[in-house]
Structures are given as C-alpha cells and as structure tokens.
Structure 1
C-alpha cells in the first residue's frame, strides 16, 4: 500500500513512529519527512486544558526548570511555554495536512476518545485510521463508541498479555520488537504467527532495539512496521531485497 489508499491487508504498511523519533517528533515537519518514505505516521494523542487534541507523547514537559502538564495548559499556553512552541500540532492539523495518508492514533487519555472520533468523522479519514492504546480502558471505550473502527491494543509488558482475550473486537496488536530479546527470535516469530492465525493484525514497533538489524528479519510476520527512522526502509531494507527474500539476515549468514 502507498499513501492515499485504504488499508491493504495483503502488504506491510510502513509507519513513521511519531513521524521521526527525535527532537522534532510528533510535529508536522517530522510527519512530512516520514511520508517521503512511509505509508503513514503514528502519533500520540493528548488533551489540553481547554479541550484541544494535540500530538504529544509524554503527559507533560520541562521548560526553564519547571514541569508542565499538557492537560493543565490551554493550547495557547502550551505553544507559548513548550520548547517546540507552535510546532506542537493539533490533531486536526495532522488530518488536514496529510488527509491522504494512513494514521495510527495512539490515544493516551480517556478524555481524548470522543473528540478524536468526532475529528475522524469530520475529516472523513476513518478508512485510514487505526486507533491504539496501551490502556485497556481506553481500548474498551474505543470499541464501545465505535464498533466498526479499527482498534488496536499496545503491548508494553507481561501485564498486557492477560488483556488480549478480554478485549473483544480487536483489529490489531501493537507488539514491541524488544520482546525478541526476552523470548528469543524463534519463539517470538511463533507467537506472532499464532496471533495472526487468530485474525489479529500485527503492528510491530520499536522501543530500544536496532531497527536496521531486526525489522528486516520480522518484516514478513507483520502487517505494519512502526519505525523510528523510515528512511532505512528505502536505503537499508530494499538494498537487501527484504520484501522478497524472507529472513534477509539469515540469508546473509547472520544469526
């Protein structure tokens, strides 16, 4: 699938993790750069004190030695105090600017559910959005408020696993590549295959692993790769023929 189309379950989506992880993550410049190489972007959704939805990963930020919570500031105050200033985007700015792209909206707060669903309807992007959250309560709320939406559950530790059978109607599981360091490559692949046989899409994301090493090895077991640096897809993966060669690093003799 390329940007501008609906979800295609027969190919692997490439999404920029917060656009590009780094100093400008979760900003329009980061999303714009990511979309030169990716099908879409993943971004985090939080609510300001005056009810505006913004893309921001953490619940707050430091500025001039003081910590500020996103939900304690108006949008104007946030953009005045935040180190990135006006680069902190509203979610509606993302949908408006990149309306033909694919989105993974990672919902961080229960208060964001209803206004986010309204924005998705307003911009007519429901066919290109997967909603995800590591919070089972938020996932339940999304499934309840929009039964036809694509809703994913993010795995962040062993405690997440008990929720998988309890969350009926899931579209996808968002699994950290880092799990391979705990259970081993073969076991991890077996788990991914078992989950896909249950009808769940697998969205792989990265916390602290080497993407360039692991993403090519796991490519064919995922429906989407959420990458910190999607440039590597074009400059790294394609060079090894990962799309067609299967477990590329095994073929190169690297274990």
Structure 2
C-alpha cells in the first residue's frame, strides 16, 4: 500500500489533494492540530507564515485560519476528510496532544476502520491507547535513540507499526539497516517506510521487500518503481 504524504499534488493538505490521492487508489497522510475553537485541522506545522508574520494554529479559530490568504482557504477539517472518504486508508499523524480525545471520537463517529494513528511522542501513544485496544498505533522514528524503545512500545502499548525513515541507511549502512528492520518485524510490528531527505526512487529498491506500506512524497513514481521491484523479485 502506498500512502500519499499530505495528499497528491498542490496545494498540500487540501481537500483537492486528498481527492486526487484517493481517486488514484492511494491512502492519505495528514498531520493533526487543534484550533482555538477546538476544531481538528490538517496542517504540517503548528503555525502559518505569511508576509513574515507567524500565525499560531492553536491561537486562532478555524474561521480565522481560513481567512489567512492565500493558503488559509485550503486548511481542512479532519471531520470533513472522514465524512468524504470513510473507506479510505489513512495515516493520521498527531502533532498536538490536545487533539487525541477528539480524534478518537471522530474515528468512532465516522466508523473509520482503515487508519493507522502515528506520532513521534510516546506520551501521545499512551493517551491514544488508553482504553482503546483496537486502535492501530504507529511510532515514527526520528532519531537513532528511538529504536531502543521499540520493544517497550510493542510490549506495553501494543504498537501496530513502526514508521522508519529510509535516511537511516546513511547512518548505519544498508546491511545494518536491513538487519534492524528484520529485527523489528520479528516482533510482529509492521513497517511503514518514509523519507526525510533521502531520494525515495534511489533508495527504496534496497529495502522494498521489507516494507508493509510506504508513505511517499512521490506516490505515482513510487508505485511504478515498486511494481518493477516486485517483478524483479519474482523473477529471481
């Protein structure tokens, strides 16, 4: 499965980009923040910068954010995404710990079943788990030290997946990277590959056989690439 990071095409994180992704058969990834009037919205960063001025998501209402031209009009509510695409595959990345309970309610309200809820923060994983045993939780690796806590997260929080940046190849080498990923998979944890700065089209072929899904900035190109990779594997 390929998940389109922040949708497919510009403007990112907009309903139009999500529609394009779903129409092409991709899942969709988005980040979640909570506004001053308690709306959950999709935005990568905690603020919008316009003409040198910074506007905090948490200090503005949804209506005020929408009024920030030109980008503000594309800010999207999570509820609207779930309402329009109830059967889509989602990777929901929670950046705001205050959004946890409201997100749980929306997932139940719209009966969203194909969703992986990810975060880089263990405290958010704990809050998400709570009494919700059925949520598919994922921990996103952003540093080498994060790898050491994976057994703990599996044992105590029952994480479903680990989101692993292919950039790790640069730090430990391809052989060690593959060994680490196989070790993680041996615990029954799914692997979602993503890229921070690494060239997806260059490095994904080195690990494509180990990925359960791919969170991609270039979903169309990656789909074609993976099709060629899998064809080559089957011919071996």
Task: Give the SS at the match of 2:73.
Answer: helix
Q: 2:3 aligns with which of 3, 12, 15?
A: 15
Q: Provide the residue aligned with 2:193 in structure 1.
A: 204
Q: Provide the residue aligned with 1:3 in structure 2.
A: none
In 1, distance between residues paired with 2:217 and 2:51?
28
Give the gaps of 5 or more residues in structure 2.
none
Q: Is the 8 A contact 1:217 1:247 kept in 2?
A: no
Deviating more after overlay: 163-172 vs 188-197: 163-172
Task: Give the SS at the match of 2:91.
Answer: strand
Q: Provide the residue aligned with 1:5 in structure 2.
A: none
Is it true that 1:141 corresponds to 2:127 in the alignment?
yes
Q: Provide the residue aligned with 1:187 in structure 2.
A: 176
TM-score (structure 2 length as normaliser): 0.92
Shift of 1:206: 0.9
In 1, distance between residues paired with 2:149 and 2:224?
38
In 1, distance between residues paired with 2:162 and 2:212?
10
Give the gaps of 5 or more residues in structure 1.
1-12
Is it true that 1:108 corresponds to 2:92 in the alignment?
no
TM-score (structure 1 length as normaliser): 0.86
Q: Is the 8 A contact 2:10 2:17 kept in 1?
A: no
Q: Provide the residue aligned with 1:128 in structure 2.
A: 114
Shift of 1:237: 3.5
Q: 2:53 aligns with which of 55, 66, 71?
A: 66
Change (3 A) 1:133 1:88: same
Q: Is the 8 A contact 2:191 2:212 kept in 1?
A: yes
Q: Is the 8 A contact 1:217 1:246 kept in 2?
A: no
Question: Number of paired residues?
Answer: 233
Q: CA RMSD in A?
A: 1.9
Change (3 A) 1:215 1:227: same
Task: Give the SS at the match of 1:42.
Answer: strand
Q: 1:30 aligns with which of 12, 17, 22?
A: 17
Which gives a bigger RCO, structure 1 or 2 (Cα 8 Å, sep 6+)? 1
Q: Provide the residue aligned with 1:6 in structure 2.
A: none
Change (3 A) 1:182 1:227: same
